[in-house]
Structure 1
Amino acid sequence: MIARFLWLAGVASASIIASNASAQDAPQPAADNSESAEQATGRGEVIIVTARRRAETAQEVPLAISVIRGDSIEATGNFNVVKLQQLAPTLQVYTTNPRNTSVNIRGLGVPFGLTSDGFEQGVGIYVDDVYNSRVAAATFDFLDVAQVEVLRGPQGTLYGKNTTAGAINITTNQPTFDFEARAELTVGNLNYKQAKAAISGPLSDTVAARIAVAATSRRGTLYNVTSQRWINEQDNLGIRGQLLFKPNDDFSITLSGDYSKQDPECCGTVFVRVGTTQRPITRQYDELVKAINANPNPAFPGRNYAVPSRNPYDRLTDLDSSLNAGNKIGGVSARIKWDVGPGTLTSVTAWRFWDWKPENDRDFTGLSIVSKSQNPSQQDQYSQEFRYNYESQKIDFVVGLFGFKQRIDTQGTEQQGADASRWSLTGANAGNPSILQGLTASNTQWLKSTSAALFGQLSWKVTDALTIQPGARLNYDKKSGFYQRIVTNGQGQAISCVTTPGNPLPSVLAAQCGVYQPQISAPSDSAWNFTYDFNVNYKIAQDVLAYATYAKSFKTLGINQNGLPLNADNTVNFDAGTVKPESVNHYEIGLKTQFWDRRATFNLTAFRTEIKNFQATVNGGQFGTVRGYLANAEKVRSQGIEADFKVVVSDRFTAYANGAYTDAKYKKFTNAPCPPELSGGTLQPANQPADYSNAGVPNTLSPRACDISGDRLPGVSKWAFSYGAEYNIPVTLLDKDGQVYLGVDGNYRSHWNSNASPSIYTEVKGYALTNFRAGFRGEGFDIFGWVRNAFDVNYIENLQVAPGNTGLIAGQPGDPQTWGGTIKFSF
């Protein structure tokens, strides 16, 4: 396998240009080491990172890391975590709304699809050393960000139990004892408006403060013909304040607080396509629509339903349920740094909250099938970390303690509408709207999670060139959850779906129980886990570092908190209540080089990650449960190569490019739910091999489960690239000395699948996006115009399988061409 990787690396280095996305920005202050002297003499820029919990140059860190500067983030319009994938091609971010956001690295991390409170993410997100436990709680706009470090590969030793795929380390600008201020205003098409401001300075000789605010609004990109409104808009507000107390050079306390509010009418979908399932043809999407039109509901006189467009890029939808993606995120933290003896003691204490108020159209149509769907959640999390950093000529180490406590409460409501009986029932029941109309599932759930960890990492400089770096982390986790669903009929009466032998449910009640069933569960479990890694790195030459890493990592057990799937006889499948922890083995080799007086950087990485009991989100195709729930795949493997290249040709021209080949697949998943083309029919006989020969053939038998071993993981493109370049010319304009500049950046990704069990109906075509910017900048100002998705490429961000096995596929198109202008001033 290593030989294959080296061969692939050679091919990659000859055929692609790839780079660290931080290439085109101004250098950061140098670390307190020999690099600073070299920087002062003109030997290229030195990028300082804190990936190993201490300040050091990016090229000295023996791991794959992308560093994206704040200026680069702003210049390319990547204003939150979701947009970062345009600069870091091994990062994949998918979102149907802030809560249902997946952040993956190398195809691994969060199970692709709808999220649940009962399992953990595999990409840790940190802001100024504070862990954000839910991806949804990290979907805020970037506010006064200095840089973002994307650490690829398991980071369990220093970043915690659930960083099996990597970590995102976000650093904000800190208070200064010199006065500084900046302001920024952007306007564009789609009524886009964004304003940012930050001010920092001393309050006394020992106290400094910084405050930053940002507001963003934009008209939606989809037009809802039912509400006659543009939806999927942006409406964001954020504020961050920091207070620094520094009585001397050895001691400092930084108090931080932030608040972010998002209140858009979001997040709707459009009709994308219909794929034939194994249901009887009369029970599939087009025929069901015909049946509804042929048997008009008195509640909708004169209606002749048709989707407003079958072309998703017309950006028309007809969703009839309320939409909302209200999101409030915030918290406070205290970071204490104290130089004690030969090292530094750091304490980080934090409290964070997340308040989520969604409303969705669960059936993805303008029909009143699911008339209400909402699952508001409230989270409180508390964390405390102590760590001690020691550095010497031969030995560096970090040791620490971490504690974490979290509670999430959720109150869900889902209600059937006037068209539900015709859509979901058969025979005489289909013609009786009252059977399902008003049928309501009210869910109450909570999750308590407690974690504690002891960790350490040692760097032993065996020689000036050779360093050995072992690390370990001992984790304890305890989870307890509660879930209760109460189902009431249209008259508000609670129903029971309990049967006794020889006493089947009455027809009407059986029909209602086939849609929603009361459930109650209270899972609880705890576990100890041990994570470790071992890295060997060798400095071949002054600016050439080679390294090899092995890591043993894990992701803790999961609980299905949002309802359990049903068996074939409509009984609850309690076996799906919990899922096993993931077990990760990771191998990586890399080469980090700089040349041409450090004006050029080329880094190359090859990796292989194997996961047993991979936690995958699967689709049950039922109204009565969450569309996605968690299950274990026996084995998953992700392997590939990544290359990063940047060059600073002169003060006039800089360029970067990066690329990744990722081969991520289910090595063994023998009991997976079937994709829609193999679902919806009467189940095949038990204890017989599954027959896949009638995929997409109506009224045929469906496998009870599918073996998808060998299929690619969802959401992962085999090939992904990004690039950028900027050229400037010195000029004097309006008595101002400065530079006129032209910049371009873009990204490409090959095709990928948008369903946990890959389907022929959820294949997403590859696409390439290109952005341009041009402007004039000088001392303290920058004025530029920009065009994003300059060639107005039509592309899909994600596809979703509608419940009920009707064959309906809905999706969200990516942003069309947008353009505007930005003006920035600093003092």
Structure 2
Amino acid sequence: MQAQAPKTRCRNWQRTKLALAVAMAPALSLTGQAAHAQASSDSRLEEVLVTATRRAETDIQTTPVAVTAITGAEVDRLVPTDLGDVLVYAPNVVNGKQPGFNSANFAIRGVGQNGIILYFENQVGVIVDDMVIPHIQTANVDMLDIQSVEILRGPQGTLFGKNTTGGVVNVKTNRPEIGANTLSVRGQVAEFGRVEGRAVANLALGETAAFRAAVMQTESDGYYENGASFGPVADFGVNYPLAGATGQGDGSDLGGSDIFSGRFKFRWQPTDGLDINLAYEMVRDRGDTPPSVNETPDGDYVFNALGFTRDPGGDRVKVAGVSNREGALMRMGSRGHEIDVDGLYLNVDWEMNDAYTLSFFGGRRETDSWLSNTYTGEVGPVSLFDATRQDERETTQFEARIASDLSGPFNFVAGAFYQEDETVFSVAQVLGFVDMTLDSAALFGDPLFFNNNPQVLSNAQDGEAMAIYFDGTWQLNDAWSLGAGVRYTEEEKEWTGRNQVFVQALGGSFDPSFTWEQLGEPLAAADFERFPTGVVSDNEKWEEPTWRVTLGYEPTDDLYFYGTYSRGFKSGGYNDQTGTGGNPIEPIQARPTDPETADSYEIGMRSEWLDGGLRLNLTGFYVIYDDSQQQLLAEIEADRDGDGVNESTFQETRFFNAAEIEVYGLELETAWRVSNNFRIQGSLGWLESEFNEFQADTDFDGSIDTVLDGNPVARAPEWTYNLDFLYDHRFMGGNLDWNLNVNYVDEATYAYTAVPNTPDGITDERTLVNAAVTFRPDNGAWWVRAFGKNLTDEEYRLGELPVANLWVMSYYGQPVTFGIEGGMDFSW
């Protein structure tokens, strides 16, 4: 394989200049960072308090962290479907979608995951009520009973730790309210058959305790249609019985949701200084298989030759495809994407005295997933490449920290963290397309042998992470402050896995009498004691200190400057796709990547003008990522019929420490209270990123075969901006609130492929316009809201994944959507 020349990305400079000019205009460049409550009678903006220091709530204007804070009220105004929809408020933060999955593919300042690898924690950590969620499949949490969302940008390796070299999304849900008896109910009806109902009840249990229950049921038909067409299927002279066949999907709706979420909490405050909170979380997701769209371009792709090429036409969501295969360990119609989450969490805050507060967290989260899918975006006539991913995960976490509130110039927070994560994983794949290129009838006695016999890949990982940390701030004088922190992390991971084999070969030899019906489910193949043939194991341990140093300067009450140097760390990781090609796993393939480190330099200005009516915050940053862990979609040779000859090519997702990344940029967040009832807010992000070095040996033969030096980093759009126009006025004995939102994300590379002469996956440039109007009468007992999303009906890709030289699969965003929601509030 020849080294690939650097690839370039086309840009419309007139467009980007216009975007910058618009976003910088004083009347328009206003921020999504404001976590404001009700507007006061004067012209000052509300104070924004954040928990980014983990000591106490601090004013965002004097907190030396690039953080965007969003209140629960602002979350509601966005009418989000999940956490990813809330990220629009923050600059240089993007939400992506892995084609074929409902996962949390978040990226901050150019780093983030662009795959679904189970054991590969995202550089963007997601924390919910102090619980670190290590898997992206269940990190895109529902926005149910939310108190606040804080988006911290840049490495957070001192206080939040746990592989947060890109940043942290810190979600807080509402705790029970002592002494209050309230009930809130709400419902929503929107296009694409979406129906949603919510209820939140808060019950006082005497004078020192309370119980709170929040539940949500969401159902929809999905905005995709099963409209993919194919054929005629090519005839390669291999006695394929379906050669010449043509067909098209039935036009049914795809990608529907059926989710129940619940949070049940008990709070006890036996004394003024002791706050004990126990919570149970449950999720029952019975949604449809997320569809894909076949985006295979013209060229030398296998699926083009087979007769399964990109569908013509304009509306991409109407030519998606799902085979709805049942049997062969596929259950798309009956199970789809089935996810169960059960979590039990304890938070204790104890104000020991006026000077010290001790906080403790203990939690356990169990997740079971069954994810069946048609990756190709095609409807048939067979399972070209259908798969079921099944896993069981158990995560246990403990954290204790003590924070000071001393009267002197020095204050600190110190803590210890422990997390254990156990995961067992299997994927069953049905590769019917191979029957089109082999004489399966002559080789196996069945012309559809590969279509009728799934292959299974299984592995498991036990991970353990421990850390201690200390972070303090010294107020040098009225204007200057010095902050510093350090964290020491130790992580150990043990991985066990087997290469992909036919179900009949799990016992070591090919036993035709042992079929997928007898196996029962994919995860049964992960019983390595029952099926030990081909099983390999590996383990590794990493130890690393991380730190930060910050200098702050506050010359006036309305002006604050800071400069920070911080170092982040992400531990090495294993790959759940190792062995996909079917060949025995070589020791070098089973090894994890090395750790990734980030050295970040950041300067910031926080300012208020016009007697507190205009807030203008500016941040500049420069980050070097060393040994960056990067994903490549590699082409490998596969021996599919077991005769010792590699007769086909295949795709395997592989990770490499092949990159040094340089990232720098600017972020503007600002809000302007034009009048008592008119407010404009927004953010602007500019980002430059490239691989200083990216060279990989994708086939582990000892020579570099892929060179991407100088290429833009994946998941790193150059421009992002968000604008909100908020206006309220009196109307028919109540208040009418108008909100117009404009959100822009530039084009970006989504995923690189190591296969020569094939384009990389991209996400599209997009400008989304959303609006909502809410009416609430003066008594405040009920409210109603009408909303519209993507009002210009823009068509855009949120994710695009090239699968070697086989095909390209894409995930498209939701078309124009209108809906109405309303609710009632009761108290007694």
Superposition TM-score, scaled by structure 2 size: 0.83
Q: 1:492 to 1:583 in 2, by over 3 A?
A: closer
1: CA distance, partners of 2:506 / 2:483: 63
How far 1:353 sits from its partner (Å)? 1.4
CA contact (8 A) 1:436 1:489 kept: no
Please name the residue that 1:317 is paired with.
Answer: 320
Could you say which residue in structure 1 is the equivalent of 2:514?
none
1:43 is displaced (CA, Å) by: 4.5
Q: Which range moved further: 752-761 or 242-251?
A: 752-761
Matched, 1:271 2:294: yes
**Residue of structure 2 in register with 1:770 after alignment:** 769
1:794 Cα offset (Å):
1.2
Secondary structure at 2:158's aligned position in 1? helix
Which of 587, 593, 600 is the equivalent residue of 2:614? 600
Match of 1:447 in 2: 461
Q: What is the identity, as a one-letter code, of the residue corresponding to 1:449?
A: G
1:354 aligns with 2:364: no
1:20–1:121 CA distance, 2 compared to 1 (3 A): same
Q: Secondary structure at the match of 2:222?
A: coil
| SS at 1:319 equivalent | coil
- Which of 472, 480, 495 is the matching residue for 1:466? 480
1:476-524 superposed Cα distances (whole Å, 9 cap, x missing partner): 111101112462377998558xxxxxxxxxxxxxxxxxxxx98532110
1:246 is aligned to: 269
Deviation readout 1:329-383 (Å, 9 max, x if unpaired): 2311111111113110011111111111100113443342546411211111111
Say what the alpha-carbon RMSD is for the aligned residues. 3.1
Contact 1:612–1:634 (CA under 8 A) maintained in structure 2: yes
**Distance of 1:658 and 1:375 partners within structure 2:** 38
1:138-537 paired onto structure 2 within 5 Å: 138-176=139-177, 177-225=179-227, 226=249, 229-277=252-300, 284-289=302-307, 309=312, 311=314, 313=316, 315-320=318-323, 321=325, 322-323=331-332, 324-341=336-353, 342-367=355-380, 368-370=382-384, 372-392=386-406, 393-417=408-432, 419-423=433-437, 433=447, 436-485=450-499, 487-488=501-502, 495=509, 519-537=534-552
Q: Distance in 1 between matches of 2:672 and 2:415?
A: 38
Tell me how far apart the structure 2 counterparts of residues 344 and 644 of structure 1 sit (CA, whole Å): 32
Pair 529,24 (structure 1): closer, same or farther in 2 beyond 3 Å:
closer
Q: CA deviation at 1:421?
A: 2.3
Deviations 1:693-730 (A, max 9, x none): xxxxxxxxxxx722101111122210011111111221
TM-score, normalised with respect to structure 1: 0.83
Matching residue of 2:726: 726
Residues 423 and 72 (structure 1 numbering): CA distance in 2 closer, same or farther, change over 3 Å? Answer: farther
Which amino acid is 2:539 matched to? S
Same amino acid, percent of matched pairs = 20
Shift of 1:741: 2.9
Aligned partners of 1:183 and 1:824 also within 8 Å: yes
| Contact 1:258–1:332 (CA under 8 A) maintained in structure 2 | yes
Give the length in aligned residue pairs: 734
* Aligned positions of 1:736-747 closer than 5 A: 737-747=733-743
Would you say the 8 A contact 1:437–1:490 is kept in 2?
A: no
Q: 1:717 to 1:423 in 2, by over 3 A?
A: farther
Letter in 2 for 1:250: G
CA distance, structure 1, for counterparts of residue 769 and residue 252 of structure 2 = 29
Q: Aligned in 2, Cα 1:635/1:192: closer, same or farther, shift over 3 Å?
A: same
CA contact (8 A) 1:114 1:617 kept: no
Mapping 1:675-694, distance limit 5 Å: none
How far the C-alpha of 1:48 sits from its partner, in A, is 1.7
Q: Which amino acid aligns with 1:238?
A: S
Partner of 2:555: 540
Give, in whole Å, the separation in 1 of the partners of 2:717 and 2:251.
36
Instruction: Give 1:159 deviation, angstroms.
Output: 0.4
1:212 deviates by 0.9
- Distance in 2 separating the partners of 1:610 and 1:71: 37
Taking the aligned partners of 1:774 and 1:362, their CA distance within structure 2 comes to: 39
Deviation at 1:468, TM superposition (A): 0.5
- Mapping 1:25-174, distance limit 5 Å: 25-26=36-37, 43-53=44-54, 54-96=56-98, 97-98=100-101, 100-110=103-113, 112-117=114-119, 119-174=120-175
**Aligned CA distance change for structure 1 residues 519 and 748 (closer, same or farther; 3 Å):** farther
Alignment gaps of 5+ in structure 2 = 1-19, 228-248, 326-330, 511-531, 639-649
Q: What letter is aligned with 1:361?
A: T
Describe the shift of the 1:107–1:495 C-alpha distance in structure 2 as closer, same or farther (beyond 3 A): farther
Q: What SS does the corresponding residue of 2:287 show, helix, strand or coil?
A: coil
Deviation at 1:41, TM superposition (A): 8.6
Mark the CA change 1:309 to 1:573 in structure 2 (over 3 Å): closer, same or farther.
farther
Distance in structure 1 (CA, Å) of the matches to 2:60 and 2:141: 26
Aligned AA (1:60): T
SS across alignment from 2:295: strand
CA shift, 1:538, in A, is 0.7
How much has 1:179 moved relative to structure 2?
A: 2.6
SS in structure 2 opposite 1:59? helix
Q: Is the 8 A contact 2:339 2:367 kept in 1?
A: yes
Is the Cα contact below 8 Å between 1:421 and 1:432 reproduced in 2? no
Structure 1 range deviating more: 719-728 or 369-378: 369-378
What does 1:578-597 align with in structure 2 at a 5 Å threshold?
A: 578-597=592-611
On the 8 A contact 1:79/1:142 being kept in 2, the answer is yes
Distance in structure 2 (CA, Å) of the matches to 1:261 and 1:553: 35
SS state of the match for residue 798, structure 1? Answer: strand
Deviations 1:119-163 (A, max 9, x none): 322122111222222222222311100110000111111101311
Secondary structure of 1:205 counterpart: coil
How far off is 1:18 after superposition? 4.1
Q: Does 2:799 align with 1:813?
A: no
Preserved contact between residue 566 and residue 573 of structure 1 (Cα < 8 Å): no
Distance 1:435 1:98, change over 3 A: closer
Mapped to 2, the partners of 1:493 and 1:468 lie a distance apart of 63
Which amino acid in 2 is paired with 1:288? L
Q: Write the distance in 1 (CA, Å) between the matches of 2:162 and 2:820.
A: 43
CA contact 1:261–1:328 (8 Å) conserved in 2: yes
Query: Is this contact kept in 2: 1:382–1:405, CA < 8 A?
Result: yes
Structure 2 CA distance for aligned equivalents of residues 200 and 248 of structure 1 = 20
Give the residue type in structure 2 aligned to 1:150.
I
Report deviation, 1:425: 8.0
The one-character-per-residue Cα deviations of 1:649-705 (angstroms, maximum 9, x if unpaired) are 22211111111011122110022659xxxxxxxx9xx999xxxxxxxxxxxxxxx72
1:612 corresponds to 2:626:
yes
Counterpart Cα distance in 1 of 2:206 and 2:101: 40
Q: Quick one: distance in 1 between partners of 2:180 and 2:476?
A: 42
Residues 426, 352 of structure 1: alpha-carbon distance in 2 compared, 3 angstrom cutoff: closer
More displaced 10-residue stretch of structure 1: 447-456 or 627-636: 627-636
3-state SS, counterpart of residue 151 of structure 2: strand
